[in-house]
Amino acid sequence: MSEIQYKLVRCTINGEKRETMVDVRASLTDMLRNDYRLTSVKKGCEVGECGACNVIIDGECFNSCIYLAVWADGKEIRTLESLMGPDGELSDIQQAFIDETAVQCGFCTPGVIMSAVEILESGKEYTRDELRKLLSGHLCRCTGYENILNAVEKTMHKRLEGR
Amino acid sequence: MEEREHAVGKSVKRVDAFEKVTGRAKYTDDLCDKSAYVVRILHSTVAHGIVKSVDASEAEKIPGVVKVVTCFDVPKNYFPTAGHPWSTEPAHQDVADRLLLQEHVKFYGDDVAAVVAENEVAAAQAVRAMKVEYEELPFVLDVQKAMEDTAPQIHEEYPNNILKHTTIRNGSYEEARKEPGLIKVEGWYDTPTVQHCHIENFICYAYMEQGRIVVVSSTQIPHICRRVVGQALGIPWGKVRVIKPYIGGGFGNKQDILYEPLCAYLSTVVGGRLVKLDVSREETFVSNRVRHAVRTHIISYVRPDGSFAARKIECFSDQGAYASHGHSIAAKGLGAFPQLYPCPNVDGDAYTVFTNKPVSGAMRGYGIPQAMFALESHTDDVAKAVGMSPYEFRWKYLMPVGYTDGFSKNVNYYDTFHQCMEKGKAYIDYDRKVKEYENQTGEVRKGIGVAAFWYNTGVWPISLETSSCRMVLNQDGSIQVQVGETEIGQGADTAFAQMAAETLGIPVDQVHVMTVQDTDITPFGTGAYASRQTYMAGFSINQTAALLKSHILDTAQELTRHTKESLDIINGKIIRRGDGEVLMSLADLAMEKLYSLTNNGHLTAESTYQAKTNAYSFGCTFAEVEVDIPACRAELTNIINVHDCGQLINPSLALAQVHGGMSMGIGYGLTERLIFDEKTGKPLNNNLLDYKLSTFMDHPHLEGQFVENYEPTSAYGTKALGEPPVCSVAPAIRNAVLQATGVAVDEIPLTPHILFKRFKEEGLV
Amino acid sequence: MYDMKALYEAESVPHAIQLLKEHPEAQIIAGGSDVLVQMREGKRAGAELVSIYGLDELRGVKMEEDGTIRIGSLTSFSHITKDPVIQKYINVLGEAVDKVGGPQIRNIGTIGGNTCNGVTSADSAATLFAWDAVVELTGPEGIRTMPIREFYIKAGKVALAPAEIQTGILIPKASYEGYYGHYIKYAMRNAMDIATLGCSVNVKLSDDRSILEDVRIAYGVAGPVPMRAVHAEEAGRGVLVSADSIEKIGDTVLEDVTPRDSWRASKAFREHIAKVLCKRALKESVRLAGGVIHE
């Protein structure tokens, strides 16, 4: 390894403009966890198979473990930490995860919720099977996925009714 | 007049849900300071051999590498790793066959050396730069081949690689099978090596403080961890402090001491600096623990009416390379056979055998999923042989009401099996479908199957069962609760809060369960394992809450001048029993007591309950499949689990446990298997892409239902639920495939590969 | 943190080519879902990378004037699936790449990366073979094109010359006009999996829909690289649309496929499944083309 190579990464994280010098070898997971202490971004496999590190970049979900931090330059990134309101109020999908007992060990939860956010923000109505497919980039060993589906499905219906 | 609000039996929200949906719950890696040194382990690339030398010269030159420690450097303190309560009797202690690093490597993935580095890249480079010279030894992967006289010897002290062999000899099998007119049914049943796959890999970090070693670990068993770190490092146990933060699932893998001793040791060799050992997913599959693969041979002699005259069972349990939980798993599985379908004449033999494979340890169900696959598959074979329907057979011969196990003293108090089966049958529309699915001929055929199980709640009388609890009253009338039973995702802390609230008479939100455990602070307890948490902690919570309540009412007597006996606590208020009049709030009482200038006191209670009971937990699975014969694929289309785990403390959390267990059972039955290269012993699919645990798209709706028979031995009427949901799923699926196709597949998982082989043998493809 | 020696980020296609010329040992990284995983495994540890991920000019699908469908090499799987041109003319490609991994992987994975890594299990590859796709390569000497069948040389090896990058995938009008197709991914679970076998079929029926005028059958994982089942196609060209024909065509694929035994699946199993998938994909393609299969 020769000299460590750094790059200035300017991006918007959870609505705020941020910039930091990043080791080009870093994954986006590394940057979010280490530089910004956004520890909702979890490490479960580091090869894009489990979905625990999922974040939203420019409106689409990505496993941040296999996304180079330098690619985040100029992008808008959202993590689970962005969902809570200014006075500490939970978003509807977070509340639904509590109400539907969709949380057990909680380690896959942040990533799954971010996929749910992308699904819900599409404003579309999906069947349960379609939701299964849209969430299928996440592995969970605790819930059998059942209550997670309930939480996402109920929140989707609530939002559609509320329009 | 104050109406008592009950806390038990309600679906209160998880006490930790808010932290988890906001990402604020701090797991081990989230707590570790970024200045930590990083550890990488060099694993064996041979299945069996002696390390002749480790050349670390190139590794040590890599910038950022702090220290390389090899198998030749570590102290020779052999230690056990099983998360069992310790026994002061040497004969009952777990086998101590582990060192921090191994010169005699016994499986592909064994631990040879470790690198401590400033960063993960340097650590990984150093591991790649090390050269290990092995004297390769012959190895054996198959459990029965390992028992042959010519097999390579893995541990010197265990001839034929048999770690342990236990037997059951009830009545006389040899005599009973001579009865005229008996039908013989025989089968071999194989279950695979599978892994827990909690989404948080095992991780720990260690540092020294005030001459002691502190280990923060993702463990189910902090107090046991403290003991084993002490044993492994050869230091007094009080010199070790273990902290357990939030943990991202365990399922039994973290009911073993994994790398805490190594991490602690590595901290000591770098001057007590902070050292982090973060295991990769690939290592989790191979170098942590797996579920025992068990091969089971059953011979049943049955009368034409289906009743059992004599039975013989042999179990061969693949221990892998080290003893870990050892024979407990096979012994538990074997013990299940004669109880589910009582038969007076049973010969049983269970062998736990070392092989050159990853180490088998505890995993959700602890031997029972393996046993139930064999037994409940065989039950369908027996039913078929005597021309009975699988449902009818079970209805008639499953453990009857009043059955008592002589050893555990467990009693089947209620007509649970029939109640569970009726619920399952009604939900899945069994009778109609069984008829409809007879005699199908098309490419795609449907089938329906059933299987039952029983499960023990705790480990008594095999091991110690104890729980300790501490409660402290705060100024506002709320309390802290501490127990040694650990929250690992299952929801234990919420159930504990409900039970404490119930007994004490305060609202659930006034109970603060300390989820982060610290062996310096948390009362002694042995942790999360078996399905003991709610049952065992229930005793000590109940007892301690009663004690604290008594102290509170003593104070109430001082303050209200009513006799203690005439007072009670309801909804956090001191009331007069006679008329229900509220005399004062608990908060007022606490303030008075804590700040009194005349009669000051800190209200607290602490107690230990040693349980000398255990309890049967019961249930069954009904599964429906669609088998695409040309595509060699069995799809699960409908499934229900019905459980009797006694009184539900929290119905929605209980149902969530059932979902998770069913999911694990579905993977066990259909897709999951860790595969090894026959030629090298190398694991081939130790990642989440190639190891097929179920995704969102691999399940139908998971239906869970309950029969709530109050468990008489339990403090709150409850008993095992954590593990039971995984136990009967795989055989129910196998039996459904049997009904659909007429083909008995006696090896799980029922992958297309195995179905292809069997369908070919049966001429279906 | 990845063990990479250096990272060079390309700002344009010519810049990428220049970087590759300057760093001949460097590996191209597009979405990274293969390269980064291999780097972490140690296979490519210590490598130099030229990142082309930022080249937005290589993203998107468009219909060219002559009716050729052009897919920029960095177009992600999810964008291909959602693209209206793909949906209208070669929907099967959108369906095929919608079976890759899971949603997050489909957002990062690119069709260029999927073909340039040269693996036989790529979900896009069988379908691109079946539609006679053409790859566009841009290098120091300029732009050249070649049929995708020639692009694959052997397992893990494609016909990229030094300092060359794949810039587009083209589906000529003649390849898709009048054709209807279906892809079946055979895997061990329904998401997050690689194909045990993939079969992509398309057909062109006669005007009265009674004759199979043309049949194209392509496979992934039936050999070291994606392939066309030429004997089976021959057996299917000009025959009556019937269950019998489909059986015959399906059985003929054994003359074409050359799967191997591996721990993932046996040769015998893959051969069996190859027949089953071919027949089923044929039936579905005929149905999509408006044909009716008479027993």
Contacts of residue C5, Cβ cutoff 8 Å, sequence gap at least 6? A1, A2, C46, C47, C48
Reduced 3-state DSSP string for B55-80: ECHHHHHCCCEEEEEECCCCCCCCEC
Position C282 in a domain: yes
Same domain flag for B421 and B524: no
Q: Are residues C22 and C72 in the same domain?
A: no
User: Which pLDDT score, from 0 to 100, does residue C23 have?
Assistant: 98
| Residue contact A1–B63, C-beta within 8 A | yes
Nearest-CB residue to A63 (from C9, C78, C104): C104
| Residue C23 backbone dihedrals phi, psi, to 5 degrees | -125, 75
Quick check: is B351 in a domain? no
Assign residue C126 the CATH number of its domain.
Answer: 3.30.465.10
* CATH number for the domain that contains residue B763: 3.30.365.10
**Domain end: B561, B590, B610, which one?**
B610
Model confidence at B85: pLDDT above 60: yes
Q: Work out how many domains chain C is built from and give that number.
A: 3
Last residue of a domain, one of B610, B638, B673: B610
Is the pLDDT at A163 greater than 80? The verdict is no
Q: What angle do CA C203, C209, C211 make, to 5 degrees?
A: 70
What's the domain range around C44? 4-51
C160 and C80 housed in the same domain:
yes
Tally Cβ neighbours within 10 Å of residue B303: 13
CB contact under 8 Å between C45 and B697, yes or no, is no
CATH number for position B36? 3.90.1170.50
Residue B36 sits in the same domain as residue B60: yes
In a domain, residue C294? The reply is no
Residue B555 maps to a domain: yes
Residue B297 lies in a domain: no
Residues near B591 by beta carbon (within 8 Å), at least 6 away in sequence: B475
Mind telling me how many Å the CA of B43 is from chain C's nearest CA?
A: 14
CB B555 within 8 A of CB B729: no
Shared domain for B86 and B215, answered yes or no, is yes
Best mutation target, B278, B753, B754, to test chain C (most C CBs within 10 A): B753
Same domain, B628 and B678: yes
B450 with B489, same domain?
no
DSSP category for residue B429: T
Clarify whether residues B408 and B523 are in a common domain. no
Task: Report residue B512: phi and psi, to 5°.
Answer: -110, 110
Q: Is residue B352 part of a domain?
A: no
CA angle at B264 for the pair B258 and B266, rounded to the nearest 5°: 105
Token pair in block for residue A120: 């819900």
State how far the Cα of B204 lies from the Cα of B219, in Å rounded to an integer: 9
Domain identity same for C123 and C26: no
Return the structure tokens found at A34: 């280490």
Hey, are the CB atoms on A136 and C190 less than 8 Å from each other? yes
Q: What is the spatial distance between Cα B332 and Cα B711, in angstroms, rounded to a whole number? A: 22
Q: How far apart are CA A44 and CA A138, in angstroms?
A: 10
Please give the Cα distance from B590 to B552 (Å, whole number). 8
| Claim to verify: residue B549 and residue B633 sit in the same structural domain | no
Q: What pLDDT, on a 0 to 100 scale, did the predictor assign at position B2?
A: 79
Contacts for B464 with CB less than 8 Å, ≥ 6 apart = B85, B87, B526, B610
**Residue in B121, B128, B689 nearest the CB of C1:** B121
Assess contact for B359 and B163: CB atoms under 8 A. Answer: no
Q: Are residues B413 and B497 in the same domain?
A: no
B663 touches chain C (CB under 8 A): no
Question: With an 8 Å Cβ cutoff, are A25 and C51 in contact?
Answer: no
Q: CB distance C2–A62 less than 8 Å?
A: no
Q: Is C154 exposed, middle or buried (0-12, 13-18, 19+ CB in 10 A)?
A: exposed
For residues B262 and B229, what is the distance between their CA atoms, to the nearest angstrom?
8
Is the Cβ of B519 closer than 8 Å to some Cβ of chain C? no
Phi, psi torsion values for C253, nearest 5 degrees: -60, -20
In a domain, C295, yes or no: no
CB contacts of C269 in chain B (<8 Å) are 632, 752-753, 756
Q: Which chains touch B (3 or more CB pairs under 8 A)?
A: A, C
- Mean pLDDT, rounded, of chain C: 97
- Domain check: are B442 and B508 in the same one? no
The whole-angstrom distance between B669's CA and the closest CA on chain A is: 14
Q: Are residues C188 and C251 in the same domain?
A: yes
Whose CA is closest to C218, among C181, C189, C176?
C181
Q: Most B CBs within 10 Å: which of A30, A40, A107, as the mutation test of the B interface?
A: A107
Contact B689 C192 (CB under 8 A): yes
The pLDDT of residue C102 is 97
Count of B-C CB contacts under 8 Å: 59
Residues C155 and C69 reside in one and the same domain:
yes
Q: Which of B610, B636, B656 is the endpoint of a domain?
A: B610
Does residue B374 form part of some domain? no
Quote the domain boundaries for residue B581: 17-25+466-610
Residue closest to C89 by CA, chosen among C171, C197, C18, C200: C171
Average pLDDT over residues B574-591: 96
Of C148, C174, C200, the position where a domain reaches its end is C174
Q: What angle do CA B140, B146, B148 make, to 5 degrees?
A: 125
Enumerate the residues of chain C whose CB falls inside 8 A of the CB of residue B124: 3, 42, 45
Query: Looking at this protein, which amino acid is placed at residue B286?
Result: V
Nearest CA-CA distance, residue C40 and chain B, Å: 9
Distance CA B420, CA B707 (A): 6
Give the domain CATH number at C31: 3.30.43.10
Is A106's CB within 8 Å of B660's CB?
no
- Residues in chain A within 8 Å Cβ distance of C107: 60-62
Judging by beta carbons within 10 Å of its beta carbon (0-12, 13-18, 19+), is residue B574 exposed, middle or buried? buried
Residue type at position B404: T
Q: In what order do the strands lie in the sheet with B37-43?
A: B65-70, B111-117, B37-43, B275-278, B203-209, B212-217, B240-244, B517-518
Distance CA C91, CA C80 (A): 9
Across the interface, of A1, A38, A44, the residue whose CB is closest to B199 is A44
| Residue B478, domain member (yes or no) | yes
Q: Residue holding tokens 């902070």?
A: B274
Cα gap A1→A72, rounded to integer Å:
24
pLDDT of residue A2: 54
In 3-state terms, what secondary structure has residue B371? Answer: helix
Q: What is the CATH number of the domain that holds C203?
A: 3.30.390.50
What pLDDT, in 10s, does the model give residues C118-160?
Answer: 999 999 999 999 999 999 999 999 999 999 999 999 999 999 9
For residues C22 and C89, membership in a common domain is answered with no
Residues in chain C: 295
Averaged over successive runs of 10 residues, the pLDDT of chain C (295 residues) comes to: 96 98 97 95 94 98 98 98 98 98 98 96 96 98 97 96 98 97 98 97 97 98 97 97 97 96 96 98 98 86
Of B325, B328, B267, B291, residue with least CA distance to B80 = B325
Nearest CA-CA partner of B492 in B244, B216, B707: B244
Q: Are residues B402 and B253 in the same domain?
A: no
Distance from CA of B587 to the nearest CA of A (A): 27
Q: Do B765 and C102 touch (CB under 8 A)?
A: no
| CA distance linking residue B284 with residue B505, whole number of Å | 44
Tally C-beta pairs within 8 A across A and C.
86
Q: Is A66 on the interface with B (CB under 8 A)?
A: no
Cα–Cα distance measured from residue B14 to residue B21, given in angstroms and rounded to the nearest whole number = 11
- Residue B689, pLDDT > 90, answer yes
- Do B643 and B511 fall into the same domain? no
pLDDT for position A3: 78
Residue B692: Cβ within 10 Å count: 21
Which whole number is the average pLDDT over B681-703? Answer: 98
For residue C65, give Cα distances in angstroms to C57, C172, C173.
Answer: 19, 11, 10
Question: Looking at the predicted complex, does its ipTM rise above 0.90?
Answer: yes
Closest CA to B222 of B520, B421, B601: B520
| End-of-domain residue from the set C174, C208, C242 | C174
Q: Which residue has the tokens 């340890």?
A: B361
Distance of CA B745 to the CA centre of its chain: 26
Asked if B647 contacts B477 with a C-beta cutoff of 8 angstroms, the reply is no
B622 neighbors B428 (Cβ within 8 angstroms): yes
- Chain C residues within an 8 Å CB radius of A115: 103-104
Which residue of C2, C6, C29 is in closest CB contact with A27? C2
Our count of domains for chain B comes to: 3
C-alpha neighbours within 13 Å on the C-beta side of residue C116: 27
SS (H, E, C) chain A: CCCCCEEEEEEEECCEEEEEEEECCCEHHHHHHHHCCCCCCCCCCCCCCCCCCEEEECCEEEEHHHCEHHHHCCCEEECHHHCCCCCCCCCHHHHHHHHCCCCCCCCCHHHHHHHHHHHHHCCCCCCHHHHHHHCCCCCCCCCCCHHHHHHHHHHHHHHHHHC
Q: Chain centroid to CA B119: how far?
A: 34
- Evaluated on CA atoms B338, B339, B340, B344, the torsion sign reads positive
Pure H helices in B156-221 = 173-176
How many Cα neighbours within 13 Å face the side chain of C191?
26
Calculate what percentage of chain B has a pLDDT beyond 70: 100
Rounded Cα gap, residues C231 and B705, in angstroms: 55
Q: pLDDT-based confidence at B250, cuts 50/70/90?
A: very high
Q: What subunits touch chain C, counting only 3 or more CB pairs under 8 A?
A: A, B
Interface mutation vs chain C, best among A24, A25, A60, A66, most C CBs within 10 Å: A66
| Chain A contact set for B653 (CB, 8 A) | 101
CA quadruple B553, B555, B558, B559: dihedral sign: negative
What is the distance in angstroms between the Cα of C204 and the nearest Cα belonging to chain B? 26
**Structural domains of chain A sorted by starting position, each given as residue range(s) with its CATH number in brackets:** 6-80 (3.10.20.30), 92-162 (1.10.150.120)
For residue C171, give every residue at least 6 positions away whose Cβ sits within 8 Å of its Cβ, in sequence order, or none: C68, C69, C71, C89, C90, C93, C128, C131, C132, C133, C134
Residue C191 and residue A2: Cβ atoms within 8 Å?
no
What is the sign of the dihedral through the CA atoms of B695, B698, B701 and B703? negative
Tell me, yes or no, whether B148 lies in a domain.
Answer: no
Task: Decide which of C122, C146, C174 is a domain's last residue.
Answer: C174
Please report which confidence band the pLDDT of residue A1 belongs to, taking 50, 70 and 90 as the band edges.
very low
Residue C99 lies in a domain: yes
Distance, in Å, from the CA atom of B30 to the CA atom of B516, rounded to the nearest integer, reads 13
Q: Which chains touch A (3 or more CB pairs under 8 A)?
A: B, C
* Chain A residues within 8 A of B247 when measuring between CB atoms: 105
Interface residue of B21, B649, B664, B694 to substitute, partner A, most A CBs within 10 Å: B21
Q: How do residues B549-565 score in pLDDT, each as one tens digit?
A: 999 999 999 999 999 99
Answer yes or no: is C293 within a domain: no
> Which one of C2, C46, C272 has the shortest CB-CB distance to B756?
C272
> How many angstroms separate the CA atoms of C37 and A47, rounded?
6
Rounded average pLDDT over A17-23: 97
Residue-wise pLDDT for B226-249, tens only, equals: 999 999 999 999 999 999 999 999
Angle made by CA atoms C282, C285, C291, in degrees to the nearest 5 = 100
Same domain, B594 and B624: no
Residues B452/B728, Cβ–Cβ less than 8 Å: yes
At residue C260, what are phi and psi to the nearest 5 degrees?
Answer: -120, 165
Cβ of A107 within 8 Å of Cβ of B198? The answer is yes
Contact B216, B28 (CB under 8 A): yes
Specify whether C144 is located in the same domain as C191: no
Nearest to B613 by CA among B405, B345, B440, B426: B405
Query: Both tokens of residue C212?
Result: 């199979």
